Amino acid sequence: MAEGVPAEGPAGDEPSPAPPAVVPGFLSQTVRIAAKDLSIEWKSREILFTSGFLAVVVVLVFSFAFVVGGTPPPSTVVAGILWVAILLSGVVGLGRAFDRERDGEAVRALLLAPISRTAIFFGKLSATVALMLTVEVPVTILVDVFFNARLAGHAGRIALFLGLGTIGFATVGSVFSAALLRSKSRDVLLSTLLYPIVVPLLIAGARGTAQVLDVAPDLDAATFWTQFMAVVDVAFLVVGLWAFEPVITGE
């Protein structure tokens, strides 16, 4: 037995003499949940490889279809390709977001722990956003290279669009992924439920990105779409926070 540990047994392992436990604060809880997910993913790289591979295939297929004679397609098409790649790969990642809680019924142990459900939500959301962004960076570079999209010249705005789109997408996706935790058809249902709801984000992201990438960028329009995405994100977060606890507890 390790040194310093109370002796196991009728006397030493009684509930009453246990050292007073100090439950971590909200932020710490959130970080621990996210760190656990990222640690598991770092070891398996399952989500990164599958969603990244899908995104690259999508970009490659579109590049063969739209780049004719070395002439890249218009900015509206390039923006659409980027967002379709992100959307498709994101669903793959979200589909696996709660698999680790389902396998072995880890979710039950997690719900029994004296931590906030909101911390679980933000922890899962943070990890999902981090994984999606990790895939999006190389995919965006790939789009830039294949379609000569001049993304680097507007890196800040593109990053803002991707960040806002990813947060909104992951918010809705996390709630649905939790809701479908116990469903056998979750892979099919997730896409079916998720796509219609994130359409506003997809439209705003694609339109805003296209405005920025245009030969004559319309930055006012891009700003409008940025603000629109921020408002949608806030709405998704509010609804997500409200809905998460009932769906994760199944009541």
Compute the least distance from the CB of residue 93 to another protein, in Å: 15
Helix (H) or strand (E) holding 126: helix 117-147
CA–CA distance, 170 with 174 (Å, rounded to integer): 6
Residue closer to another protein, measured from CB, 88 or 110: 110
Rule CB under 8 A: say whether 196 interacts with another protein.
no
Rg (CA), the chain: 21
CA–CA distance, 190 with 210 (Å, rounded to integer): 28
Residue closer to another protein, measured from CB, 76 or 118: 118
Rule CB under 8 A: say whether 1 interacts with another protein.
yes
Contact letters (x/-) for another protein, 55-94, by CB under 8 A?
A: ----------------------------------------
Compute the C-alpha angle 72/73/74, nearest 5°: 120
Check if the beta carbon of residue 181 is closer than 8 Å to that of residue 102: yes
Rule CB under 8 A: say whether 25 interacts with another protein.
yes
Rule CB under 8 A: say whether 48 interacts with another protein.
no
Alpha-carbon dihedral sign for residues 174, 178, 180, 183? positive
Contacts 24+ apart (CB under 8 A), 150-155: 150/213, 151/213, 154/212, 154/213, 154/217
Residue closer to another protein, measured from CB, 175 or 229: 175
Rule CB under 8 A: say whether 14 interacts with another protein.
yes
Compute the least distance from the CB of residue 31 to another protein, in Å: 10
Please report how the helices 26-44 and 117-147 are oriented relative to each other, as an axis angle in degrees rounded to 10: 50
Compute the least distance from the CB of residue 177 to another protein, in Å: 16
Contact letters (x/-) for another protein, 97-116, by CB under 8 A?
A: ---x--xxxx-xxxxxxxx-
# residues near another protein by CB under 8 A: 45
Q: Using CB under 8 A, list all residues that contact another protein.
A: 1-5, 8-10, 13-25, 29, 32, 36, 39-40, 43-44, 100, 103-106, 108-115, 117, 245, 249, 251
